[in-house]
A and B are shown apart, each in its own frame.
Chain A
Amino acid sequence: MPDLLVDIQKLNKKYTLTSGMFNSKNRVVDAVNDVNLKIFKGETLGLVGESGCGKSTLARLITRLEKPSSGFISFKGENINSYNSKSLKAYRRNVQLIFQDPYSSLNPRKSAAVIIKEPLTIHHIGDRNTRSKSVLELMAKVGLSAEQANRYPHEFSGGQRQRIGIARALILRPEMIVADEPVSALDVSIQAQILNLLKDLKQDFGLTYLFVSHDLNVIRHMSDRIAVMYLGQIVELAQNHDIYDYPLHPYTQMLLAAVPSCDRQKKGKKVAIKGEARIEGARGCNFKNRCLYKLPVCEEQQPVLKDINNKRFCACHLVSAKEEE
């Protein structure tokens, strides 16, 4: 078993929404609801789900851009929510983020070299010469040329900007990268370049990835293990090929069936997808009103993530019932 890097236990994040000036009733949204998750050193964990399922919130909690309502996240055995500002700074050196939108995540008034160098300045690493040297080294590594160092973000294309964002995340030599939808703002032909780059960098720097995406094809290409999220909960967690070959949870099955495939043979009426997500404050399984296999127990009890055959996890009454037979 490889080393455990991140251990998340019973993590919750609630947001309170105030609706309207005269409405005193506040709505509470469970963005992340009782999540348990482990990330091992050297793996790529893919986190997939539809918009609003809480995957970005989970990424923000892990990078400690948000504080949880309850629960623990430990990194190498230390609880990251007990960090003071000094140890938090050290933590940030180890865990870095790559953002979705390369247009809004780079400061338009700073040149590429300054943007990439900034983390070194903040963390007081090296002197002027060594900093500039490592910036140029890293730019070459991510496929940018030295002449581009003094250009500003608007002079770069989307793919090149994402390369700048990647270089900035890597300059501190972190152990883990949290990539939140790193290619969804890019065109198809550029997307492939960035995915290849991320794979190469993982090899070269011995990185661990938490790879967040809504795109099942991208997740499939990148991940070793995959966690599927639905309305704040992880509903299925398994090895890549297990998820794609034998999806257990009805939601995973539905998601996979909905992906348009270039294989024309697969065409035809797919699993009918009915209804929309959430009913506020309803009891039972979150997925019950879209599920094709609803059991009476689903109305009453929320299923928890259970070990199936000692190798994968699924939160579904139907799957657990089959398992017991």
Chain B
Amino acid sequence: MPPLLEIKELITVFDTNRGRIKAVDGVSLSLQPGETLGIVGESGCGKTMLALSIMRLIPANGSIINGSIFFQGQDLLKLSAEEIRSKRGNEIAMVFQEPMTSLNPVIRIGEQIAEAIRLHQNLPAKQALALSIEQLREVGIPDPERRAQDYPHQLSGGMRQRVMVAMAMSCHPRLLLADEPTTALDVTIQAQILDLISDLKEKNNMAVILITHDLGIVAQTAENVAVMYAGKIVENSQVNEIFANPLHPYTKGLIASLPASCSNDRQEHLETIPGSVPSLYNLAAGCSFRERCSWAETLCAEQDPELREIKSGHFVACWIAQQTKKLN
């Protein structure tokens, strides 16, 4: 099957008054129809900018200087502004982290969803509103006819996020980008929203890119995982494989540093990754993780490792992991 989405060598840069930074640095990945890909990384690793690059929504001081994003065989980066607008919200939709700041506070939620429908389907206002009420029902909002008349502030956080999902789903997209969709929510509400996204995905055979910093969420919902660090994908594999057999020292460290749930024995001390995420302003040559890495050798300081497949379906960008695998 041809992939739904194929990103090759994508580089997104930002020009700031402190110089140029590479927020997304040579990312390649592909996504099959109906697949859920989890993108994990800490704040500032470029995961949100990757999603915004796919939507062609990067802020004004940013630009995509290299690479291609093929969606259903068409390079999104070569489309005109008009053409990308017809895809955005229609075939590719996005759910953001903070529902309160992404909904318009002075428009009733029914109308906000209807707006998206009218934009892409050219329906009369009344019909679009009826569809949006249907959409609200679909995402499990009780009494949708009445709720459609509410303003965003009248809804709770979980309900607002449901509205965001309803809006994203209104045109039956082929691809949903969910950027930390549950970070602002409580755990019980988080579980509801994640279940909702999984159910809708099954129903519509939609592919999902789930961006999160929470490895637990990835383990529960994704089929494949890409781990990002300083703008690059450092490991990419099937989800069971990544948790059972992490190869990159960063992934290993992340999994080991989680309290409790991910390792059953309750040890006194957690494993830690020393230091902190490097500043993108002055990244030295070589592997960007080497200063926090206990394996680092001279080669790591000289050359940046490439993402290579060292086991079937398991890609890793680490010189040491690649070498030891070769020896075995």
A-to-B contact residues, CB < 8 Å: 50-51, 157, 159-160, 187-193, 195-196, 199, 214, 216-218, 220-222, 254-255, 257-264, 267, 270, 273, 276
Contact = CB atoms under 8 A, between A and B. Distances in A.
B58 interface: no
23 contacts: A187-B42, A189-B42, A189-B273, A191-B257, A192-B258, A192-B259, A192-B272, A196-B269, A216-B261, A217-B216, A217-B261, A218-B259, A220-B259, A222-B259, A255-B187, A259-B261, A260-B217, A260-B221, A260-B261, A261-B216, A262-B255, A263-B219, A264-B240
Given A199-B268, A214-B186, A188 B254 contact: yes
B17 interface: no
A interface: dominant SS: helix
Contacts of B43: 187
Interface in B243-286: 243, 253-255, 257-262, 264, 266, 268-274, 276-277
B239 interface: yes
Interface in B176-227: 186-192, 194, 213-217, 219-221
A181 B191 CA distance: 21
B67 interface: no
Contacts of B258: 188, 192, 217, 262
Contacts of A159: 276
Contacts of B221: 260
Contacts of A217: 216, 258-261
Interface residues of B, number: 44
B203 to A, nearest CB: 16
Contacts of B243: 262, 264
B interface: dominant SS: helix
B42 A273 contact: no
Contacts of B303: none
Contacts of A191: 257, 259
Nearest to B142: A275
B158 interface: yes
B213 A196 contact: no
Contact of B216 (A160, A193, A221, A262): A262
B156 interface: yes
Contact of A221 (B159, B259, B272): B259
A221 B260 contact: yes
Contacts of A261: 216, 219-220, 261-262
Nearest to A200: B269
Given A195-B259, A262-B258, A188 B272 contact: no
A220 to B, nearest CB: 4
